[in-house]
Structure 1
């Protein structure tokens, strides 16, 4: 299956907001439990990922206005998209992931990433203060 089999809104949402399957899984976890807050530790235990990574993904999702920090100012987050449009996009993603999990994962992995370029650039040789 190809990413083109997904609705345009889902493809666009993934392209603009989802950087990893891990981030997607955290978003879906919070989406499934909108009444509760999650710390990085709780999310990491639930999804069996590192706490550091879970914390970074929660911060990313908050920056993208899909989740918010708990009102107590702590390190807990809950699902609370900025507006109905974002909520609808997440709902579309939830549906697509349930029906076409592999297609969604393939689309996430097929995205170009700046991290690869950064890694590759680390191995370039420098000569006389300029890049070759």
Structure 2
């Protein structure tokens, strides 16, 4: 956890680095606020109001970022994955920021490129640099 002399975590940087869409953020915050309870895909669909295919993509992305974990039981459930106290503190700040500044955070998410677009651009830059 951060000490008193260090600045508070920046939820906007976290969102920029780890969140691809508003439903991604809403899923993560839902799982954070209900920890340690896990949610099935169907339960997430009913709370996030997005199609099952999109929920599948969201949980894959968040699992890849190690922000959630999948249970080994069937039906599979997804829950927030607490790796460190610093991550938990960051999630506290992300949750608070989203509650207090929904429009600014949503706008920032919509302005940024998706992770797939960023990966494609990075691969293109690497290829261009190698050709020099």
TM-score by length of 2: 0.75
What's the counterpart of residue 61 of structure 2? 60
State the aligned residue count: 113
C-alpha deviation, 1:53, in angstroms = 0.6
RMSD of equivalent CA atoms: 2.3
**Cα distance in 2 for residues equivalent to 1:94 and 1:66:** 14
Q: Compare CA radii of gyration and give the structure with the larger one.
A: 1
Gaps of 5+ in 1: 1-6, 119-132
What's the counterpart of residue 28 of structure 2? 27
Corresponding residue SS for 1:45: helix
**Cα distance in 1 for residues equivalent to 2:44 and 2:76:** 12
Q: Does residue 48 of structure 1 match 2:49?
A: yes
Which residues of 2 match residues 110-125 of structure 1 at below 5 A? 110-113=111-114
Gaps of 5+ in 2: 1-7, 120-132
Corresponding residue SS for 1:78: strand
